[in-house]
Each structure stands twice: as structure tokens, then as C-alpha cells.
Amino acid sequence: MARSQPPGTQPPTASAPRSRYSLRDTLLSYAFLAPALILLTLFTFYPLAYGSYLGFTEYGGARFAQGLGPRWTGLENFRTLAADPLFLTALGNSVKYLVIVPVLQLASLSVAVLVNKNLPGMAFFRAAYYIPVVTSISLAAVMWDWVYNKEGTLNWALGVVRIIPEGSFFGWLNNEQTAFWAVMLVTFWRGFGYYMVLYLAGLQGIPAELEEAAVLDGASSWKRFWSITVPLMKPTILLCSLLSTIAALRVLEEVLVLTNGGPLNSTYTALMYVYSKAFQGFNFDYGLASAAGLVVAVVALLLSVANFRLFRESDGGES
Amino acid sequence: MSLVIRAPARTAAPRRRNVKLGRVILRYVFLIAVLIFAVFPFLWTLAIALTDKTAGGSIYNFPASLFPRAVTLHNFADVYRTFSLGKYIWNSVSITGMTIIGTLLISALAAYPLARFRFPGKGIIFAVIIATLVLPGETTFIVNTLTLKNMGLLGTHLGVVLPTVAAAFGIFLMRQAFLSIPQALLEASRLDGAGELTILTRIMLPLSVPSLAALGIFTLVGTWNAYFWPMLALSGAPDAVPLSVAVLKLKGQFNYDPFNIAAGSIIMMIPVLLVFLAAQRLFMRGMEGAVK
């Protein structure tokens, strides 16, 4: 059986299909590729396969200490998860974290539009907005912890403008009503510069004539934003929303460094559950943690598909 | 067409010009508000780090704590000494250095055949590498710690580095660079009898220095800042942790000194900030996100 070649991709040659590859090139290629392939197999593909398998087993804790391997338990872990109120809270919080996606994307696109103008200082603003992106989450935790402190700048500033009376200051990360949103604001802070840059790249592709024509037609900048910029930026918005959705669902670091899931589990997210079951405390329940990880992966997949659908539909409706 | 519509815009009435000026001012007002949001935490941290704590006073004494009157560099020396910061700086340098070298080496090696050779299985390998970008990684960190433990590498810098150095981003970046080098140059050197490794090291790599530098810089910033993975992989070796992990440990201490923490944070921030400011254009191109 000859190797099938899609018609038209290559001019037909007289040589037999087998001689298309030289043995020397093939051996060299695999030698060059070997380090990357070995590491990817060991640290990316194997964990995916083995981690999925672990989700259906009992592993860790006592078994681990006795040197016993994983024991197949079928769907037992998933039943445990479904009955665990902490996991349901965690999953709920991760889904609730998706609130950030439209807010972050709209803000990033707006900021990109603001700095995408030939005026003095724009390069400076862009660079300054990007600094939080290249800031470690641990430094963000140090700095925002001071801002959110009971005596911190946020309370002080709100006190100055009389939104919060001086006597009723509180720690934003210690309050179960505010901690979730305070953590989310740090994600927002570290993210908007990143998406701004992606949107700026997209904005360069919008022809200036279109914008100018709309100005002459008397369209307000608000209207221009919604009827020119947003529709033309749809591919970029889709990409960014997708990245942002998956990142929001997988949020872990911010929670870990700012609140460790508290207070009263109000910031306890799904990956926090995975991490916590596997590594915090003394259980080391790798089986249950892997099962929880699988659930998050499936939800992420479903949301990515939904994201695509949503955009395709709204695209068909308008244009 | 553009000529026709551009002409009248130039002759705008004065009233319209006022509106335009108002718009520009409004734009700057927004930009400055966002600027304050973006950089305020840094400025306050810098102010705290520079404050002379011997003068007494709290970091929460507003607005005085935002504008330190007695400025000193003493906190930097203090945190370096009392917290043996040198050790953690070295750990960060070691982990980051190894990661950069490993990433450049492995990416360049893997990218070369993908850009230049025809071999069976190329399409599959390509697909496999692309797949790593979208595969779910929720349980990866669990299995990787187990793997490293079995290899005896858990708690070592090499253990932190190994799982991160082979990545699609670097391989594609280098492949792109290699593809842009004229094929004729390679044919000529092959005729001269140069081996593949010679061609890679003498021709391909020197001509791809900008891409290597870009990859190195992205890797540097990402690795220097990384928190979760080094924290996890080094949780049994507290003396081997990088600055990013150490700074938070410092903050977690019961009787901590905020002035020292601020100074430590600034020390950790400076290398990344300098690299970012020097290579701004690279980050502003959005290349990182395009491949991620």
C-alpha cells in the first residue's frame, strides 16, 4: 500500500514513495528531537494518563506509607466528591470566578483602545500597565495584603471619601463577604495588561479609514466602540476569553498566597481542593485529588466549547 | 476613498476642536486613573522599603507612610543579613539559569529538524507538541512530584527545572527563526562538508540570536517569578527555595518586619523590572500570548 498523498499538495515525482525520506535525515531528526520528546512524555503526557488513572483508584495516605500501589475503585472517588460539600463549594467558587472573564476582557479592550492613539506618553502607559503582568504572585500577595489590611490603603482611601466610616474598617481578605472579590481584583490587576497587549495587536489590524468614516458620520466614540471595534475584534476577543475562562476556572495561586481558601472557605476553589487533598494536611489522598482534577478538566473543556458556540452564534446574528 | 473622507476632517470648526481637546483630556484622566491602579502597590512598597524604621511609625500611618521623610537603605542591608537573603538569591539564580540554558538547548535542538528535515512521523510529532498547549494539566503537578520522588530529584533544583524546559512555546519560536534562514546557506555549507551539528551551532544559532534572546528573556521572567511549582517541588527542602517562595515565608513569620519584607520584595523585583524595561518591545509585541 503506497503512502496516500493528498492530491495537489506536491508535484508527482518519478521516485518511489519510500525514497522520500533519507535514513540519515530521519535518524538525525529523532536524535535532535529526543530530549524534548523524552521530557514531554515524562512530565506532560505520562502525568495526564497516570493522573487520569489515579482518579479511579484509591492511592496515597496509608497505602502510600505501606508502599502499596494504587487500587482500582471505579467511580468511588467521584461518588465521594459528589457527596463532599467542600468539593461542591470549591467547584461553585471556581465557576463563580468566571465572573471575571467579561469584566476583565471588556476592561482590557477598553484600555487597549485608550492607549492605541498617537499621543505623547502612550508607550509609557502601556509599559506601566504591563508591570503587574511581570510581577510574581508572591510579591503581589505581599503588596495587596497591605492594601487590603484593616489599617491598609483601601480602607484609608474609602474612609477619606466617606464610603466607609472610620470606625467600621475591616480586613478585606478576612471578611467572607469581600475576600472572594478582593482575590479576584488581584487576578484582574495581574491580567489586564496581558490582554491589553493581545488586543493592541488586534487593533493594529483595523483600517483607520473605517474609524474616520464613522467619525464623519457623527458616530459617538461609544457607538464606534460597539459597532466597529468590538465586531472587528471578535477573533481576538474569542481567543482572550478562552484563555481567561480556563485560567479563571483553574485559579489557584492567588487563593493560595492571599487567603489559603478562607475565610470560611469563601475563596476555596476547585484546584485548591485538588492541591489541598494531595499535599496539605496528612492525608495525601492522591486518588481523590486526581478525581477532582479530572472533574475540573471536564468542566474546562465544556466551557471552552460553550465559549466557541456563544461567539459563533452572536457572530451569525450580527453580520 | 480615504482621500475623499480625510479632507473635511482637517477643517473642523473651533467648537469641534474644543470638544476634541476635552476628549483628549478625558482620555488622559482615565489613563492616569488606570496608572495609579497598576503601579500604586509598587510605589507604596518602595516607600516602605526606603523608610527609616528607627524613626518609629507604622506602615499604616497615612498619608505619611506613602511619603517617607527619613529615607534610608538600611532595610535592604538588614533583610539581607537577618534573613540570609543571599542564599535565596543564589537559589533563584541557579534555578533560573538552569531553566534558561535547558529551554534554549532543548528548543533549538527540537526545532532544527522540524524546520529543516523531512522525516516520517513529522506531522504526528508536530501535533503532539501542539497538543501540549491545550491538554488539561490539573493533575500534572501531583504525578510530577511522585515521578521526581522516584527519581530522587524531589527537593533539588534539577527537579524543579526538568519538567519545565521542554515546552511548545520555545520549540515553535525557534522553528520560526530557523525557517527564516535561507536554505541556500545550508546547502552551501553541506557541500563544504559541514556536519549537521556544525551547521546548527555555526550557522543556525548565530543567525537566530534575536529569537534565542527573546526566548531567554521570557523564560527568565517566568522562572524568576514562578511560585507554585518551586514551592511544591521544594517543600521538603526549605533551604533550596527561590526568592519568590522565600519572600512569602518571610511574610508568614509571626513577628515579621514589614520594612524588611518591602526591601526584600524590591530586591526580588529589580532584576525582572530591569529586564522588562530593557526588552519592553518584546513583551509589547504580544508574541508570548500568541503562542500560549
pLDDT over 80 at A197, yes or no: yes
Residue A265 CA to its chain's centroid (Å): 21
Q: Which site among A29, A150, A206 would you substitute to test the B interface, given the most B Cβ atoms closer than 10 Å to its Cβ? A: A29
Instruction: List chain A domain ranges.
Output: 81-314
pLDDT over 50 at A123, yes or no: yes
Give how many domains chain B has, as a whole number.
2
In this structure, are B91 and B64 located in the same domain?
no
CA B291 to CA A66: how far, in whole Å?
44
Q: What mean pLDDT comes out for the span B201-227? A: 94
CA B223 to CA A192: how far, in whole Å?
21
Confirm whether B65 is domain-assigned: yes
Q: Please list every residue in chain B whose beta carbon sits closer than 8 Å to the beta carbon of residue A215.
A: 9
Confirm whether B92 is domain-assigned: yes
Q: Please list every residue in chain B whose beta carbon sits closer than 8 Å to the beta carbon of residue A137.
A: 225, 227-228, 244
Give yes or no for B277 touching A (CB within 8 A).
Answer: yes
Per-residue model confidence (pLDDT) at position B173: 93
Residue B71's beta-bridge partner residues?
Answer: B51
In this structure, are B92 and B65 located in the same domain?
no
Q: What mean pLDDT comes out for the span B66-94? A: 90
CA A273 to CA A288: how far, in whole Å?
10
In this structure, are B32 and B68 located in the same domain?
yes
Confirm whether B80 is domain-assigned: no
Q: Containing H/E element for A71?
A: strand A71-72
pLDDT tens digits, one per residue of A214-243: 888 888 888 888 888 888 898 899 989 999
- Torsion sign (Cα): B279, B280, B284, B285: negative
CA B266 to CA A94: how far, in whole Å?
32
Q: Please list every residue in chain B whose beta carbon sits closer than 8 Å to the beta carbon of residue A198.
A: 286, 289-290
- Torsion sign (Cα): B133, B138, B144, B147: negative
CA A143 to CA B42: how far, in whole Å?
7
Confirm whether B190 is domain-assigned: yes
Q: Which site among A108, A139, A149, A150 would you substitute to test the B interface, given the most B Cβ atoms closer than 10 Å to its Cβ? A: A139
In this structure, are B96 and B28 located in the same domain?
no
Query: Following CA atoms A91, A92, A94, A98 in sequence, which dihedral angle do they give, to the nearest 10 degrees?
Result: 140
Which of B120, B171, B248 lies closest to A26 in CB terms? Answer: B120
Which of A131, A147, A286 lies closest to B39 in CB terms? Answer: A131
pLDDT over 90 at A282, yes or no: no
* High-pLDDT (> 70) share of chain A, %: 92
In this structure, are B63 and B169 located in the same domain?
no
pLDDT tens digits, one per residue of B1-56: 444 444 444 555 677 778 888 889 999 999 999 999 999 999 999 999 998 887 77
In this structure, are B54 and B124 located in the same domain?
no
Q: Are A124 and A215 in contact (CB under 8 A)?
A: no
For the record, the C-alpha cell of B34 comes out as 488606570
Per-residue model confidence (pLDDT) at position B266: 95
Contacts of residue A56, defined as CB under 8 A and 6 or more positions apart, other chains included, come to A72, A73, A74, A75, A77, A287, A291
**Of B72, B105, B123, at which residue does a domain stop?**
B72
pLDDT tens digits, one per residue of B191-200: 888 888 888 8
pLDDT over 80 at B88, yes or no: yes
In this structure, are B41 and B89 located in the same domain?
no
CATH of the domain at B141: 1.10.3720.10
Q: What is the mean pLDDT of chain B?
A: 88
Contacts of residue A318, defined as CB under 8 A and 6 or more positions apart, other chains included, come to A231
pTM (predicted TM-score): 0.89
In this structure, are B45 and B94 located in the same domain?
no
In this structure, are B183 and B47 located in the same domain?
no
Q: Which site among B42, B112, B139 would you substitute to test the A interface, given the most A Cβ atoms closer than 10 Å to its Cβ? A: B139
For the record, the C-alpha cell of A196 comes out as 491589553
In this structure, are B19 and B155 located in the same domain?
no
Per-residue model confidence (pLDDT) at position B211: 93
Given 1.10.287.130, 3.40.30.10, 1.10.3720.10, 3.40.50.10780, which CATH number is that of A81-314?
1.10.3720.10
Whether residue B118 and residue A21 make contact (CB cut-off 8 A), yes or no, is yes
Which range of residues forms the domain containing residue B108?
85-291
Q: Are B132 and A265 in contact (CB under 8 A)?
A: no
CA B126 to CA B135: how far, in whole Å?
14
How many CB atoms sit inside 10 A of residue B84's CB? 12
Which of A21, A134, A257 lies closest to B120 in CB terms? Answer: A21
In this structure, are B177 and B44 located in the same domain?
no
For the record, the C-alpha cell of A131 comes out as 508591570
pLDDT tens digits, one per residue of B115-142: 988 999 999 998 999 888 888 888 899 9
Q: Are A51 and B139 in contact (CB under 8 A)?
A: yes
CA A170 to CA B194: how far, in whole Å?
71
**Of B29, B50, B72, at which residue does a domain stop?**
B72
Which of A33, A50, A294 lies closest to B110 in CB terms? Answer: A33
Whether residue A146 and residue B258 make contact (CB cut-off 8 A), yes or no, is yes
Confirm whether B77 is domain-assigned: no
Q: What mean pLDDT comes out for the span B96-111? A: 97
Per-residue model confidence (pLDDT) at position A315: 57
Confirm whether B6 is domain-assigned: no
Question: In the 8-state DSSP scheme, what is residue B183?
Answer: H
In this structure, are B136 and B250 located in the same domain?
yes
Please determine, for the modelled complex, whether the ipTM score is greater than 0.95. no
Q: Containing H/E element for A85?
A: helix A85-96
